[in-house]
Structure 1
Amino acid sequence: MTTIREASSAPAASAALPPRGVRCRRVEPADIDALAVLLTQGFPARSLADWRKSLTRLGAWTEAQGLPGLGFVLVDGDTLVGCLLTLFGAGGTRCNMSSWYVAEGYRRFGTMLVSAALRDRSITYVNISSERHTRPIIEAQGFRRYTEGVMLAAPLASLAGLGRATISRERPGGDVIVDPTEAALMDHHAALGCITFWCLADGRAYPFVVARRLIKGRLPIAQVVYCAEGTDWRRLSHAVGRALARHGLFLLLLDAQGPVPGLPGRFLAGRMPKYARGPITPRCGDLAYTEAAVIGT
């Protein structure tokens, strides 16, 4: 689970105070190996190889799109002692702040990372994987919760709209209406390793991007990374269930403000809250280009 770690707590009494030469700068290409080691220390649920793979993938995406960069690091001399990743979406108007970690003995410098990352007020910043003990800190930084919980659903159990929608793994052609921006998003996330498919109904193609997750390390589940605004689950739920079943996935996790009509399951109030700060409040069902797709939460 990739989360933002608390970086404001006081260092342990036995820890030596770091020298005053600690500085904050952007991540550079030469930092990747050392950064992967640091992240493995902070987030040991993921292996060193997994972090290297994620950072390489994130670097390639950032360079290809001309985006600001991978994030910021704290350095003491030549040693990395803290980090905060910044995952920008296409266009660079939204940034997912992820994987905030500062080594013990340096945590009083952690706010330097946040201050550096939040400088541009034209950007909407999101935090999608907060730990409970960090939420007061996040809210003090100006972030506000924009989801009320998650739907844990079994879409294949839905009988509503049965047979009214079909599935396509490829971009639909002919007279079917396809949003070109969403088509590009689908291609990008397929390249990131996400599961992508289209639901076709009433002459329109509805995009779906999901990421495979494991609950408690055992139970596979599909986390919705992206679905179109206004998706009518009453028409599409069963078709989505069929598409996921092909990948051995029968449970779906979707950010929501309450129970979702047409999606059989349980609304878990207050679970997995998402936070945002900036000019545009994100909507439920859009975690595109965040750690959910690039790293894995």
Structure 2
Amino acid sequence: MIDCLCTGFPGRGRRYWAQALTRLSQRPAVADFPRYGLALEKSGRIVGVVMTLYSLHAGRDGDEVRCNLSSWSVDAGFRPYAAKLVGALLRQKGVTFTNISPAPATLKANEAIGFRLFSNGQFAFVPALNPVRRSCRVLEARCDLAEMALLSESERYTLSEHSALGCLSLICVCDGAVFPFVVVARRIGHGLIPCGQIVYCRSPADLGRCAGTIGRFLLRRGILLCLVDAKERIPGLFGRHFPNRGLRYFKGPKPPQLGDLTFTELVIFGP
């Protein structure tokens, strides 16, 4: 499987894929859905693969199942079977599928099989430029933190799990209210510029409210710039909207909200 992935994604090394498979093996299974994904086999050799990251998300009507399709790779001689490989997964009912890192060459294929955009751009901003509210403070989420009790059960789980996966799971306490955030450190600009990708926030308005306090916290960790999925400029933040960057697609009953990349490849496999 790793050989096939290395062929399809030459920019990633064997260590990256070995870690990805190890982390998938450690994730809790979701019902009877595939733990790793599906493979295309020919004479005992894997010639195609699509990896699946299933997770449960709390919704108004109960838990919703999402599946982040990732690392879709088929060897050159077997490309006609590529759509069938994914098609076998898409027949699952009640699942919202996402593709958060489509290769440019696959965009038409994605749309042909029913994927639609839920985010068509990135907003880059410098949170430290926002003023700091005296009543606001930022805490790193921990199981024994009293403020964790003020969050919903699903948000406590999200913060704890993402912290264990190496993300910055934060709670901003402002005027007696609590706001959860998850940030993953990554690099852009050919790996030269450190930044923080917002993996979870309840709303863009929460970012604007807590940006100054979070910005000072991130500065102490060497992060000046942040990115968040956005369809337009976010009022109250100092930055710029970049359309057609970081395209995110979905297929299924309910698209994820903007700013929610929880339990996707960006977190579990790493940026």
TM value normalised by structure 2: 0.90
Quick one: distance in 2 between partners of 1:176 and 1:105? 54
Say if 2:141 and 2:170, in contact at 8 Å, map to a contact too.
yes
The reply on whether 1:123 has 2:123 as its aligned counterpart is: no
The 1:249–1:174 alpha-carbon spacing in structure 2 relative to 1, beyond 3 Å, is closer
Partner of 1:52: 18
Matches within 5 A, 1:148-163: 148-159=120-131, 161-163=132-134
Distance 1:105 1:214, change over 3 A: same
**Alpha-carbon shift at residue 277 of structure 1 (Å):** 0.7
- What does residue 263 of structure 1 align with? 237
Who is 1:214 aligned against? 187
Aligned to 2:59: none
Residue in 2 aligned with 1:199?
172
Distance 1:118 1:125 in 2: 8
Is 1:127–1:275's contact at 8 Å kept on the other side of the alignment? yes
* Higher relative strand content: 2
SS at match of 2:146: coil
CA RMSD of aligned residues (A): 1.8
How far did 1:67 drift?
6.0
SS in 2 for 1:276: strand
Instruction: Find the partner of 2:118 among 142, 146, 164.
Output: 146
Moved over 6 A (4+): none
1:291 aligns with 2:265: yes
Gapped runs of 5+ residues in structure 2?
Answer: 57-62
**Contact 1:154 / 1:252 at 8 angstroms: preserved in 2?**
yes
Cα displacement (A) at 1:262? 1.8
Q: Does 1:223 align with 2:197?
A: yes
Structure 1 residue 167 and structure 2 residue 167: aligned?
no
% identical aligned pairs: 35
| C-alpha displacement of 1:193 | 1.4
What TM-score comes out, normalization by structure 1 length? 0.83
CA distance in 2: counterparts of 1:237 and 1:258, whole angstroms: 18
What pairs up with 1:242-257 in 2 under 5 angstroms? 242-257=216-231
Report the equivalent of 1:88.
54
Higher Rg of the two aligned structures? 1
May I ask how many residue pairs the two structures share in their alignment? 261
CA distance in 1, matches of 2:13, 2:235: 39
SS in 2 for 1:106: helix
Deviation at 1:231, TM superposition (A): 4.2
Q: Secondary structure at the match of 2:209?
A: helix
Q: Any stretches of 5+ residues in structure 1 without a counterpart?
A: 1-34
Partner amino acid, structure 2, of 1:128: I
The residue type paired with residue 178 of structure 1 is L
